Structure 1
Amino acid sequence: MRYLNEDELALASRFLFLSMTIVVIQQDIYFLQAGGFKAFKIKEAYLEVLKKMEHLALQERKSLRKTMQQKQIQVVKLDKNDSFSSYLFLCQGREEKRSYFNPAIRKKVKLIFEELMEKSILVDRYASLKT
């Protein structure tokens, strides 16, 4: 049964998957800086894109967190196994448990990752056109 409305669920879900995407971006930055990607001859360009992506993602998550606080929305991780991850969405005394198939989570994180990559490149191109 659904206890959260579409907007509340969309907000909480975006926050959840964006947070996961930030972790992926930060891990990629760490491994690139640590020299884990020896195949790259020019790492700086990739690092620059990843750092812009991280900045955009952190800004969006900050905004989402503020909106979630105003609407009294929380996301709590319940459990995780090989196939599924469960989360509890709380909103003004109402709660809804949702389980996600782990490959579906990966797909959502990949989509957000690609979205952030496009935005970071577009922001860079727009800035270069202004000068």
Structure 2
Amino acid sequence: MRYLNDEELQLASRFLFLSMAMVVIQQDIQNIRHGTFKIKEPYIDLLEKMNTEAANERRKLRKTMQDKKIRVVTLNKNDSFSSYLFLCRGREEKRNYFNPAIRKKVETIIQELMQKALLPYQQYDSANT
């Protein structure tokens, strides 16, 4: 049974998956820095811009969640599923996510962040053609 409304659930879910995307981006930055890439800087710059975009969005989400008294708590994780508890003004809702579905959501967020980070370059290219 659903105890959180759509807006509350959407807000908490976005915060959760955006946080996961930030972890992936930070790990990728470290992997590139310590990897065998010949030219690392463009990749690191892009990932750092993506991380900044994500941090700014997450900061706004966190503020909104504090105002609405919404929290997300990790319950358990195993090879197939991860469980989270969404809390809002005394109401709680437990949600189980299939790990490949989480991966797909995080990948979608990373693609959104990449588009935002590349937008200034795309505008520059279209102005010069």
Query: TM-score, normalized by length of structure 1?
Result: 0.92
The structure 1 residue matched to 2:85, chosen from 83, 88, 101, is 88
Question: What is the DSSP-based 3-state SS (H/G/I as helix, E as strand, rest coil) of the residue aligned with 2:38?
Answer: coil
Does residue 85 of structure 2 align to residue 98 of structure 1?
no
What is the CA-CA distance between 1:127 and the residue it aligns to? 6.6
Runs (4+) of structure 1 moved beyond 4 Å?
none
Query: Residues 127 and 62 (structure 1 numbering): CA distance in 2 closer, same or farther, change over 3 Å?
Result: farther
117-126 or 45-54, which deviates more: 117-126
Q: In the aligned structure 1, how far is the partner of 2:121 from the partner of 2:44?
A: 14
Question: Equivalent residue for 1:44?
Answer: 41
Q: In the aligned structure 2, how far is the partner of 1:72 from the partner of 1:45?
A: 40
Question: Equivalent residue for 1:57?
Answer: 54
Q: In the aligned structure 2, how far is the partner of 1:2 from the partner of 1:111?
A: 25
Does residue 64 of structure 2 align to residue 67 of structure 1?
yes
118-127 or 54-63, which deviates more: 118-127
What is the CA-CA distance between 1:31 and the residue it aligns to? 1.3
Question: Equivalent residue for 2:27?
Answer: 27
Q: Which runs of 5+ in 2 are unaligned?
A: none
Percent identity over paired residues: 65
Question: Equivalent residue for 1:7?
Answer: 7
